[in-house]
């Protein structure tokens, strides 16, 4: 099998159900999901499996789910069979809740950084937000699996949370945005009347 086919030389590409321009919103959406997947791979090679066995397993599963999401977004034909489900979103929520227990209370916005793994996971987060924005546009213009939009929304929250976990496990503090006031308050402080 040859890697190059020359079929895209005129600026068109194949999707499931036809051919579209390479800058079609559908291609932009699944292409950006592919970018996220590549950077998840970058994050994986930065983690120590002895410290992050759970995160390695979860990120590997997410890579498969991102491939599913890209496949869903590539479907432009009438007979669509989607892979991303509401249950996948629920699973991400459970992971976020579990990992969040390792993190100190969040009181300020944080900047991407700290450990190399944390920085890599923040790149995953912002690329996921870009993918989500493109999927929002796609959903407005064409029929597609809306569960992908929900999945990406939750996935960016997951990456934010595990980026913080990476710093905790590395013994590093999050890099707080110092120019602003405290914007997050724990329930305990609210109960004490602290603003």
Asked if pLDDT for residue 193 goes beyond 50, the answer is no
Which residues lie below 8 Å from residue 88, measured CB to CB, with a gap of 6+?
Answer: 65, 147, 151
Give the model's pLDDT for residue 107.
Answer: 85
pTM for this predicted structure = 0.87
**Cα separation of 122 and 185, whole Å?**
22
The answer to whether the CB of 44 falls within 8 A of the CB of 91 is no
Nearest to 169 by CA among 58, 60, 53: 53
Q: How many CB atoms lie within 10 A of CB 8?
A: 12
Q: What is the average pLDDT value for the chain, to the nearest integer? A: 87
Mean of pLDDT values over 164-183: 89
User: What stretches of the chain adopt beta strand conformation (E)?
Assistant: 12-15, 18-21, 110-111, 175-176
Mean of pLDDT values over 88-112: 95
**Cα separation of 43 and 56, whole Å?**
9
Query: How confident is residue 185, by pLDDT bands cut at 50, 70 and 90?
Result: low
**Cα separation of 17 and 78, whole Å?**
7
Which residues lie below 8 Å from residue 189, measured CB to CB, with a gap of 6+?
Answer: none
């Amino acid at each position: 099998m040859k890697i190059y086919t020359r079929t895209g030389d005129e600026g068109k590409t194949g999707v499931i159900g036809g051919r579209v321009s390479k800058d079609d919103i559908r291609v932009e959406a699944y292409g950006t999901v592919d970018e996220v997947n590549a950077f998840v791979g970058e994050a994986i090679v930065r983690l120590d499996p002895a410290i992050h066995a759970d995160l390695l397993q979860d990120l590997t599963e997410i890579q498969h789910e991102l491939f599913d999401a890209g496949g869903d977004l590539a479907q432009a034909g009438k007979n669509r069979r989607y892979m991303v489900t509401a249950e996948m979103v629920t699973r991400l929520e459970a992971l976020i809740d579990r990992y969040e227990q390792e993190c100190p209370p969040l009181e300020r916005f944080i900047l991407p950084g700290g450990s190399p793994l944390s920085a890599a996971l923040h790149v995953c987060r912002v690329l996921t937000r870009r993918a989500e924005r493109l999927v929002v546009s796609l959903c407005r213009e064409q029929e597609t699996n809306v569960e992908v939009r929900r999945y990406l929304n939750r996935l960016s929250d997951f990456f934010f949370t595990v980026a913080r976990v990476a710093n905790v496990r590395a013994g590093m503090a999050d890099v707080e945005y110092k120019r602003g006031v405290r914007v997050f308050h724990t329930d305990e402080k609210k109960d004490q009347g602290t603003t």
